[in-house]
Amino acid sequence: MKNKNHSIKQFELSPHAKAGIIVVNMEDHKVEEHDISKPHRDNHCQLMLALDGTFQLNIDFENVEFTAPALLCVFPEQVHHIIEVKDPKGWMISFDPSLISKEVLQLLENKIDNPLLIEGRSNFYQQLTILTDLIEKIQLENTNVFTQKSIHSLLNGLLSLIAGELVSNLSVDKEKENRSIIIKETFIKLTKEHFKTWKQPAQYASALSISVAHLNDTVKLLTGSPVSVHIQEASIMEAKRLLYFTDKNVKEVAYEVGYEEPVYFGKLFKKITNLTPLEFRKKFRD
């Protein structure tokens, strides 16, 4: 059935959130403030700590299915919706990304696997549960500036704990290699933020204070693809979202992702996806 939406809905943080964060217990069975079964974006981050239950979601055209215990992160640019959830137990934490250190947030974006499966009786599982339960309890108290500061500190502690788990199994290599990873991950983050207006590798190299050649060599070594391909793929991913979730025509989609020439955009889209924009819309939606 054809989607009649004319834009991808984006939802703000709940009005019940206090100072940029809200923790919702999955067992409360409260009515959602918006329909999470329909594709949408949020202007905030969401962290799911699932202690029990089975889950099926879709995040950017990928079905994600898992059985708890597990962690799942959804970031502001990602279009997502719930397909089916059975017997859920755990928490959903929604928070403004500005509350979190850039280092931790970037590590979560680049390193977490959705879902991150957890061993049920591990120390990590116990620590996550204790911290999240504590944040929920404090949230229910009468708030003042110091209560909110404590919640922010606990949230940063929780996410830092997760970040520590993500890097614990990474090999500690030479400083040069670590620097290469930082360059690659920062570059990928920049493509998500600036794909519409930054189309040239030189713009990213300048932002990173390195040469274009160094940026390209580093990114290609670690990912197998040159910088230009990653820039194009960031635009095409957003184009896919617009083609699927809106009724914008190809020219409008091209403009939305930074291309003034629809013909060039169409050729680029087909090069990357093996489908024209309209073929993609028909295959995945109509």
One fold for both 10-168 and 175-284? no
- pLDDT tens figures, 139-161: 888 677 788 889 989 999 999 99
pLDDT tens figures, 245-278: 788 999 999 999 999 999 999 999 999 888 899 9
Residue 7's pLDDT band, with cuts at 50, 70 and 90, is: low
Q: What is the mean pLDDT of residues 68-81?
A: 89
Return the CATH number of the domain spanning residue range 10-168.
Answer: 2.60.120.280
- 168-197 pLDDT, tens digit each: 766 544 445 578 888 988 898 899 899 999
Kindly report whether the global pTM for this prediction surpasses the value 0.75: no
Quote the pLDDT of residue 5.
45
Single-letter amino acid code for the residue at 168 = S
* Partners of 22 in beta bridges: 94
Residue 246 contacts by C-beta under 8 Å, 6 or more apart in sequence?
3, 5, 6, 7, 8, 253
Residue whose entry in the numeric block shows the structure tokens 């009649």: 4
Q: How far is CA 93 from CA 22, 127, 132, 259, 277, in A?
A: 6, 16, 9, 36, 36
Q: What are φ and ψ of residue 185, in 5° steps?
A: -70, -35
Report the first-to-last Cα separation within the chain, whole angstroms: 6
237/10 Cα distance (integer angstroms): 17
Q: Pick from 232, 217, 218, 219: which is nearest to 269 by CA?
A: 232
User: What architecture is domain 175-284?
Assistant: Orthogonal Bundle (1.10)
pLDDT confidence bin for 96, thresholds 50/70/90? confident
Give the tens place of pLDDT for each residue, 190-231: 998 999 999 999 999 999 999 999 999 999 888 888 999 999
Q: How far is CA 258 from CA 77, 98, 135, 235, in A?
A: 16, 26, 41, 8
* Domain extents in the chain: 10-168, 175-284
Q: Answer whether residue 12 shows pLDDT above 60.
A: yes
Mean pLDDT of the chain: 86
